[in-house]
């Protein structure tokens, strides 16, 4: 019987549940004995020239080892000259040149929380005391706290650039004739607000420079990429070892490493002292990259019978004070603009602007949730205007099953899908007709608590960089155990359990004799890591193929040991032993076969690449209750059919869906990073940032749906981000739907009581006129 698809509880858990994980702050490595604590001095203002930094008082404090600023960084080589073959601004790389971001502020600060100096002390408390005493003189400049201010180009954040617009891209959107002949055209602005990624473990790094080698333990999603980034401090890759210990969540904000971590690694090299830095939540909410932060102008048109004919999406991306990802995020938003619909004419473009906010980078979905939020809101606008049910409008416009593979008007090559089936599953499981009846009843009776149903049918792109691939190595040793080395990087997803399942499936070696190793560049020099829901489809496929290669090698060895033809040798996966046809008494264990191999180890090392990304899809339905007197929204039910191909382990895929839905609902309901007019952050502790809790969420109702892809041997697509992508618009649409009969057409996210209450009252005022 295959283990794939069965419920296997995690091998990771016993340790995490009894002793706790070993996160950076928990490391007790001998190399870190006597490590000094790093405390950053961060900008307290949004935009200013630095006119002086006085370390004198700080240096006199007890326990202070050093106070380091950009002026101390003369041992860092200058950045290489601009590479003519560098990836375009659409690539996920920081913009260089006039837009570049220093490791520590040089003469200008551009956001509250920007690192200005590092204080090294014997203890944490000493560091907090001393950092207070580093005096930074600021000559305050006007702040650019929003997209609207940035677009005015009155205050320019990078004077040499001459504009706040860092990148533009996408297609031509000037031809308005695509809306000719549409019976219905709806147009409007939608805010996809800035949110915090908020992994429960913030950023954390420990570094030791010894004997010419730099060892960095860091809370990252990508040890190998981090190693390449760290070469910026003037060391070749082979002089750097990066280790990802247990990582307490990432959600995109721990892809690679930030300037803060590079600066810590440099500080260890510069001072010769081991250094450890573990950020506070306040630092985390000020300076870890954040997500979304787009403004959309949307136009949709179609016929009165519900066929969408044309769609236009203009994206303005607030990239914060520094462009960490060029035009990458809005490029994905443009690419995924038409969603699950076969729309004859689609236009999309984008503009990236800098503001005095925390830099924006990937957050669970990274550019795709924004696309889905836009089209799914637009489809509801269109349905409302046409007087049709939102489920019916979706059905009429879906790309049909027989149209796959399907290339959208924006160029996205969708591999496989069955969008209508996902919708039907959700409608049926939710009791959609009864819910609509209940909604009508409440509308007619003027119930204070109105019911709203929100649909989101989504498709997303996973493993968007399939050619980069992922590494997987499987060794079987003479004790019969297997060890798996993966370039993919776990931080909660359950890689160790899933990858061991893949190996036991092919080799019959029991799970408890399979060890999975990730996140150490000395052991695994080549790898990419985890983002874009790529782990199972690329990393898992690499492990799967490596296991098959090892099995093939073992078959040859076993044949030679049996003195038989390879064709007569078989592996009994139930017992994990090798046999020969016609002689049931003869058998070999995995250990015996491995012992006959060179180095007494069978090994296969695979770099799996795919030809194209995959496109998981699904439909989510949210049911909310809105108190029309207070504006309070209660999420009552959330029902989803998310299809990412065959399921390897139901608890792992459902865990990803649960977490994704919660984060998506959080954006729709309560979470938002806010700044005042001077660029001061208003949500820089968890007392202020409204992170979603258990009390605001129901249990989720998940429906299984499995449409395989042919782009990898497992047939799987990514599931890490799908929950988030579908949930945000489903919940938002539900809130608006609850109020539609009152004349409310749109409520921006987060749909806080104040916003909802205001929308209701404005609609009432408008209808009274």
In whole angstroms, how close is the CB of 723 to other proteins at the nearest point? 8
For other proteins, the closer CB: 477 or 657: 657
For other proteins, the closer CB: 249 or 743: 249
Q: Of 174-182, 279-287, 296-304, 348-356, which segment contacts other proteins by CB under 8 A?
A: 279-287
Sign of CA dihedral 382, 385, 390, 394: negative
Distance CA 509, CA 502 (A): 10
- Among positions 486-515, residues that touch other proteins (CB under 8 A) are 491-494
Give the helix/strand (H/E) hosting 736.
Answer: helix 722-739
In whole angstroms, how close is the CB of 281 to other proteins at the nearest point? 4
In whole angstroms, how close is the CB of 446 to other proteins at the nearest point? 27
For other proteins, the closer CB: 686 or 703: 686
For other proteins, the closer CB: 199 or 452: 199
Burial of 422 (0-12, 13-18, 19+ CB in 10 A): buried
In whole angstroms, how close is the CB of 276 to other proteins at the nearest point? 12
Query: How many Cβ atoms sit within 10 Å of the Cβ of residue 636?
Result: 14
Distance CA 546, CA 606 (A): 6
Contact letters for other proteins, residues 121-160 (x by CB under 8 A)? ---xx-----------------------------------
In whole angstroms, how close is the CB of 736 to other proteins at the nearest point? 23
In whole angstroms, how close is the CB of 366 to other proteins at the nearest point? 16
In whole angstroms, how close is the CB of 105 to other proteins at the nearest point? 24
Asked if 18 touches other proteins (CB under 8 A), the answer is yes
Q: Which two tokens stand for residue 272?
A: 């010769």
Q: Taking Cα atoms as reference points, which of 346, 332, 399 lies closest to residue 192?
A: 332
For other proteins, the closer CB: 252 or 306: 252
| Residue 588, strand partner residues | 578
Among 695, 767, 768, 769, binds other proteins (CB under 8 A): 695
In whole angstroms, how close is the CB of 695 to other proteins at the nearest point? 4
In whole angstroms, how close is the CB of 592 to other proteins at the nearest point? 33
Phi and psi at 457, nearest 5°, equal -105, 125
For other proteins, the closer CB: 9 or 677: 9
Count of residues in contact with other proteins, rule CB under 8 A: 55
Largest CA distance in the chain: 94
For other proteins, the closer CB: 280 or 592: 280
Distance CA 303, CA 349 (A): 24
Place of tokens 């950020």: 279
Q: Taking Cα atoms as reference points, which of 655, 243, 657, 232 lies closest to residue 489?
A: 243
For other proteins, the closer CB: 10 or 741: 10
Q: Is the peptide bond before 750 cis (omega within 30 degrees of 0)?
A: yes
Contact yes or no for 367/330 (Cβ under 8 A):
yes
Contact letters for other proteins, residues 23-42 (x by CB under 8 A)? x-xx-x--------------
Q: Taking Cα atoms as reference points, which of 606, 144, 87 lies closest to residue 328?
A: 87
Asked if 280 touches other proteins (CB under 8 A), the answer is yes
Asked if 750 touches other proteins (CB under 8 A), the answer is no
Asked if 400 touches other proteins (CB under 8 A), the answer is no
In whole angstroms, how close is the CB of 213 to other proteins at the nearest point? 26
Q: Of 42-50, 354-362, 403-411, 686-694, which segment contacts other proteins by CB under 8 A?
A: 686-694
Asked if 677 touches other proteins (CB under 8 A), the answer is no
In a 13 Å sphere around the CA of 221, the CA atoms on its Cβ side amount to 22
Asked if 20 touches other proteins (CB under 8 A), the answer is yes
Distance CA 206, CA 216 (A): 6
Distance CA 355, CA 320 (A): 5
Q: Provide the H-helix boundaries in 491-600.
A: 495-507, 541-562, 590-595
Distance CA 567, CA 550 (A): 16
Contact yes or no for 68/117 (Cβ under 8 A):
yes
Q: For the chain, what's the residue count?
A: 769
Phi and psi at 165, nearest 5°, equal -85, 115
Q: Taking Cα atoms as reference points, which of 554, 148, 530, 170 lies closest to residue 334?
A: 170
Helix (H, G, I), strand (E, B) or coil at 174: coil
In whole angstroms, how close is the CB of 656 to other proteins at the nearest point? 8
Which residues are within 8 A (CB) of 689 and not within 5 positions of it... i.e. 6 or more apart? 196, 198, 285, 671, 673, 683
Q: Taking Cα atoms as reference points, which of 148, 185, 194 lies closest to residue 748?
A: 194
For other proteins, the closer CB: 22 or 156: 22
Burial of 695 (0-12, 13-18, 19+ CB in 10 A): exposed
Q: Of 113-121, 380-388, 599-607, 681-689, which segment contacts other proteins by CB under 8 A?
A: 681-689
Phi and psi at 379, nearest 5°, equal -65, -35
For other proteins, the closer CB: 82 or 687: 687
Angle at 356 between CA 353 and CA 358, to 5 degrees: 95
Contact yes or no for 301/309 (Cβ under 8 A):
yes
Among 6, 13, 565, 677, binds other proteins (CB under 8 A): 13
In whole angstroms, how close is the CB of 12 to other proteins at the nearest point? 8
For other proteins, the closer CB: 166 or 498: 498
Asked if 634 touches other proteins (CB under 8 A), the answer is no
Q: Taking Cα atoms as reference points, which of 693, 683, 669 lies closest to residue 748?
A: 669
Asked if 658 touches other proteins (CB under 8 A), the answer is yes
Among 326, 472, 659, 718, binds other proteins (CB under 8 A): 659
In whole angstroms, how close is the CB of 663 to other proteins at the nearest point? 7
Helices 722-739, 753-768: crossing angle, 10 deg rounding = 40
Contact yes or no for 183/300 (Cβ under 8 A):
no
Asked if 734 touches other proteins (CB under 8 A), the answer is no
Asked if 663 touches other proteins (CB under 8 A), the answer is yes
Among 44, 168, 282, 596, binds other proteins (CB under 8 A): 282
In whole angstroms, how close is the CB of 727 to other proteins at the nearest point? 9
Q: Of 66-74, 77-85, 195-203, 729-737, which segment contacts other proteins by CB under 8 A?
A: 195-203
Q: Of 296-304, 439-447, 682-690, 756-764, which segment contacts other proteins by CB under 8 A?
A: 682-690
Among 199, 256, 487, 616, binds other proteins (CB under 8 A): 199
Distance CA 394, CA 423 (A): 9
Sheet holding 577-580, edge to edge: 569-572, 577-580, 587-589
For other proteins, the closer CB: 615 or 700: 700
Q: Of 22-30, 109-117, 385-393, 422-430, which segment contacts other proteins by CB under 8 A?
A: 22-30
Contact letters for other proteins, residues 235-274 (x by CB under 8 A)? -----------xxxx-x-----------------------
In whole angstroms, how close is the CB of 493 to other proteins at the nearest point? 7
Among 17, 71, 86, 98, binds other proteins (CB under 8 A): 17
Asked if 686 touches other proteins (CB under 8 A), the answer is yes
Sheet holding 48-54, edge to edge: 108-109, 48-54, 135-140
Contact yes or no for 709/647 (Cβ under 8 A):
no
Chain residues in the site for other proteins (CB under 8 A): 9-10, 12-14, 16-23, 25-26, 28, 124-125, 198-201, 246-249, 251, 280-282, 491-494, 651-652, 654-655, 658-663, 685-687, 691, 693-695, 697, 699-700, 723
């Amino acid at each position: 019987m295959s283990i794939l698809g069965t419920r296997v509880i995690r091998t990771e858990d016993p340790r995490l549940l009894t002793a706790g994980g070993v996160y950076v702050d928990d490391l007790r490595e001998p190399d870190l004995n006597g490590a000094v604590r790093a405390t950053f001095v961060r900008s307290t203002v949004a935009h200013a020239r630095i006119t002086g930094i006085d370390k004198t008082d700080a240096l006199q404090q007890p326990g202070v080892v050093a106070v380091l600023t950009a002026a101390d960084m003369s041992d860092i080589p200058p950045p290489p000259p601009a590479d003519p073959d560098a990836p375009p601004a659409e690539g996920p790389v920081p913009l260089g040149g006039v837009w570049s971001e220093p490791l520590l502020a040089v003469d200008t600060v551009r956001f509250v929380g920007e690192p200005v100096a590092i204080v090294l002390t014997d203890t944490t408390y000493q560091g907090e005391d001393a950092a207070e005493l580093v005096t930074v003189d600021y000559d305050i400049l006007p702040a650019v706290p929003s997209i609207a201010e940035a677009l005015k180009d009155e205050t320019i954040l990078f004077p040499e650039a001459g504009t706040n617009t860092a990148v533009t891209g996408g297609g031509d959107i000037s031809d308005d004739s695509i809306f000719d002949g549409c019976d219905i055209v709806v147009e409007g602005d939608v805010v996809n607000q800035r949110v915090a990624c908020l992994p429960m473990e913030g950023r954390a790094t420990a570094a030791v420079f010894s004997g010419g080698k730099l060892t960095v333990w860091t809370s990252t999603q990508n040890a190998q990429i981090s190693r390449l980034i760290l070469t910026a401090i003037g060391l070749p890759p082979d002089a750097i070892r990066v280790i990802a210990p247990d990582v307490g969540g990432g959600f995109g904000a721990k892809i690679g490493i930030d300037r803060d971590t590079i600066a810590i690694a440099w500080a260890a090299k510069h001072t010769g002292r081991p250094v450890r830095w573990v950020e506070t939540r306040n630092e985390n909410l000020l300076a870890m990259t954040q997500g979304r932060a787009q403004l959309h102008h949307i136009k949709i048109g179609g016929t009165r019978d519900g066929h969408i004919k044309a769609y236009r999406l203009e994206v303005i991306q607030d990239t914060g004070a520094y462009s960490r990802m060029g035009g990458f995020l809005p490029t994905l938003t443009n690419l995924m603009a038409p969603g699950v619909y076969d729309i004859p004419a689609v236009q999309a473009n984008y503009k990236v602007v800098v503001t005095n906010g925390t830099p924006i980078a990937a957050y669970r979905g990274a550019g795709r949730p924004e696309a889905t939020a836009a089209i799914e809101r637009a489809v509801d606008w269109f349905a409302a205007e046409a007087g049709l049910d939102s489920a019916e409008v979706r059905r009429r416009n879906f790309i049909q099953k027989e149209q796959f593979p399907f290339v959208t008007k924006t160029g996205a090559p969708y591999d496989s899908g069955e969008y209508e089936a996902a919708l039907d599953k959700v409608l049926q499981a939710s009791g959609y007709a009864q819910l609509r009846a209940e909604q009508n009843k409440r509308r007619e009776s003027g119930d204070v608590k109105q019911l709203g149903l929100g649909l989101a049918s989504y498709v997303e792109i996973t493993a968007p960089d399939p050619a980069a691939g992922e590494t997987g190595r499987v060794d079987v040793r003479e004790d019969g155990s297997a060890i798996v080395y993966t370039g993919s990087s776990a931080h909660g997803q359950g890689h160790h359990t899933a990858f061991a399942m893949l190996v036991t499936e092919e080799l019959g070696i029991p799970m408890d004799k399979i060890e999975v190793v990730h996140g150490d560049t000395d052991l695994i020099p080549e790898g990419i890591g985890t983002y874009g829901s790529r782990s199972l489809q690329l990393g898992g496929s690499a492990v799967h193929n490596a296991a098959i290669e090892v099995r093939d090698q073992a078959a040859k060895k076993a044949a030679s040991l049996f003195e038989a033809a390879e064709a007569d040798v078989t592996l009994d996966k139930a017992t994990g032993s090798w046999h020969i046809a016609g002689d049931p008494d003869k058998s070999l264990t995995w250990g015996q076969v491995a012992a006959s191999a060179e180095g007494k180890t069978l090994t296969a090392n695979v770099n799996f690449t795919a030809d194209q990304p995959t496109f998981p899809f699904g439909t989510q339905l949210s049911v909310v209750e809105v108190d029309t007197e207070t504006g309070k929204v209660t999420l009552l039910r959330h029902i989803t059919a998310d299809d990412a191909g065959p399921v390897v382990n139901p608890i792992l895929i459902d865990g990803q869906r649960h977490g994704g839905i919660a984060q998506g609902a959080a954006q729709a309901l309560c979470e938002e990073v806010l700044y005042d007019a001077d660029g001061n952050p208003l949500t820089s502790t968890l007392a202020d940032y409204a992170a979603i809790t258990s009390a605001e969420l129901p249990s989720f109702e998940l429906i299984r749906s499995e449409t395989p892809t042919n782009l990898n041997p497992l047939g799987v697509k990514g599931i890490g981000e799908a929950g988030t992508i579908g949930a945000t618009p489903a919940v938002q649409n539900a809130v608006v739907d609850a109020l539609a009969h009152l004349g409310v057409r749109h409520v921006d996210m987060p749909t806080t009581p104040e916003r909802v209450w205001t929308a209701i009252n404005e609609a009432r005022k408008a209808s009274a006129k």
